Amino acid sequence: MVKPDNFLVWSILSTVLCSPIFGIVAIVYAAKVDSHWYAGRHAESIDAAKKAKLWTFISVGTGIVFTIIYTIIFTFVFSSYTVW
């Protein structure tokens, strides 16, 4: 049986670059993967890896959505100003 990827690097990057709230949840699950695996609880390790991946994608998705919303609002606010 092969140890699942813990997604720790991706979780940290999504925390720093996208959404800190959801990224922290991803980091917590990513940290559990190795500890469960080496304790012999392989099913829990696989479950934690799936949850870490899910929360990493949620963090990236919310970061993208908020960036798009911010860009739209920023564009409309500053497009209404005219330079004389």
pTM of this structure? 0.85
Angle at the Cα of 34 (from 32 to 15), degrees rounded to 5? 55
Flag whether pLDDT at 8 surpasses 90.
Answer: yes
CB 59 within 8 A of CB 26: yes
Q: What is the pLDDT of residue 1?
A: 85
Q: What is the mean pLDDT of residues 6-18?
A: 95
